[in-house]
Amino acid sequence: MAPIRMWEILKRAETGQFIEEKDFLMKHFIPTMRKVIKKYEIKYNPQIPVTSDDDLADRVWQAALEFFLEVGIYHQDTHRIIKFSEEEIKEALFATPPEYMVGEGADIRRFGSRKIEDSIPPFMLFSPDITYDEHDHLRACIAFLKEPLLDGLCAPILDQFMGRKIKSPTPSELGGATTHAMNLREAARLVGRPGVWFVAVGTAESDMAQIAVSDDMWGVRHTDGRLVGAITEFMTNSSMLNKATHYQMNGNIAGCLPGAIYGGYAGGAEGTAVLEVAYHLMGLMVYFAQFIQNFPFHLRYGSNTGREMLWITSIYSQAVARNTHLVQTSNGFANAGPGTEMLFYETAAHAIASTVCGANLWEIAPARNKIHNYGTPLECRFAAEVGHSVTKMNMTREKANEIVNKLLNKYEDNIPTAPEGKPFQQLYDMKELIPTQEYLNQYYKIKEDVAKMGIDFIY
């Protein structure tokens, strides 16, 4: 879709059907979701977390398309619904590129769409998705960027600036976001990867902070990736549209960041899967996004490595891969924290289900993305090794389902009481920024165990 149509989106946000938010959810969103689930006979099978039912994937796609066309996107500031025609959607799906070259120089990489059981390895974006101590933020960036399988980085986040809690939108957010961007650039130079692709910056929550850090000399380059969120559920606002407009005018490869909630307005596994597919259309049509960064999560646990969540990941990834050439990533949210065996098992399950079903990998947020400093590069390395290995093996969905069930048997009973683990500072040598020997020993032990389940690791 031509970016000039951004202004048409703004017009629709001012002239669409007027409705209060509660009525949008109760009279439009929920009834329509229930209708399409029933019409397209979408059923969750807990015995098959990685489904190989092509017809089901296509029905999920059709349900999502019908849902998007009928419900539209709600604009919270204007209280109006933004809608599109099926012709507009088909045009946009045809016109959007299937791949991009990201990064610069020796760090240039292909970031593109993948098919089910694809032999093309997933693009591997490392992302801990949590906040770190201000004085260790640069060290954490360096530790992640040292990983050789990293294709891109969505960096550790700051929640303090100059010792004070960052508040949005205030000058503290500007300071924190600027520090974040500058630490990224410095870390990349120090490890010899100045051209590596960043998706930045997570510290900047507001539109003004995201715009402020766009700077090719010291901050977020026009060649870097950016993200704009979708508001739960199926909503946007002027701040989000400001970000999307800036990213396109700045020339960034931008993504939409949707997380459909299992147990929320969409209901159970069936509705959550349909909604996550529909969010791909929202990203394409409302934000003009070049990729979709998916993180559906469980309302109670805040994770997506449970049995029902892996099924959701499996089926929405396949629905998109079979019916479009949209670029999609799958973001893992684990229950257990770093330094626990459970985290590695969760990481493997999410990486297998996502890779085999057509997604790129965006891994991984430990400890339900809740605990300060609780994320390390080692679990991300493990996800990358799993993703590369299953593509080299030409793994089928049936084989993936077999292995994922074995992995679930290792941890699913412990999801409600998942171990917290240890922080980055206790698992890494903070001078050399490498894993401690104890942590490496645990990693090798789990790697050997997962290999016995059927993963032929490349090395």
The whole-number pLDDT of residue 74 equals 98
Which tokens hold the place of 180?
């974040």
DSSP per position, 162-228: TTEE--TTSHHHHHHHHHHHHHHHHHHHHTT-TT-EEB--TT--SHHHHHHTB-TTTSB-TTSEEEE
The whole-number pLDDT of residue 367 equals 97
Q: 341-356 vs 307-323: helix axis angle to the nearest 10?
A: 20
The whole-number pLDDT of residue 449 equals 98
The whole-number pLDDT of residue 5 equals 82
pLDDT means per 10 residues, the chain with 459 residues, are 72 96 98 98 98 98 98 98 96 96 97 98 96 97 98 95 95 97 97 97 96 97 97 96 95 97 98 98 96 97 98 98 98 98 98 98 96 98 98 98 98 98 98 97 98 97
- Tell me the C-alpha distance between 7 and 5, whole Å: 5
The whole-number pLDDT of residue 155 equals 85
Q: How many CA atoms lie within 13 A of 431 on its CB side?
A: 0
* Domain regions of the chain by residue span: 99-453
- Tell me the C-alpha distance between 65 and 73, whole Å: 13
The alpha carbon dihedral of 142, 144, 149, 151 has a sign of: negative
- pLDDT digits 0-9 by tens, 148-165: 999 999 989 999 999 999
- pLDDT digits 0-9 by tens, 278-335: 999 999 999 999 999 999 999 999 999 999 999 999 999 999 999 999 999 999 999 9
The whole-number pLDDT of residue 4 equals 54
> At which residue do the structure tokens 């990213």 appear?
247
* DSSP state, residue 71: H
For domain 99-453, the CATH class is: alpha beta
The whole-number pLDDT of residue 7 equals 87
Say if CB 350 and CB 450 are below 8 A apart: no
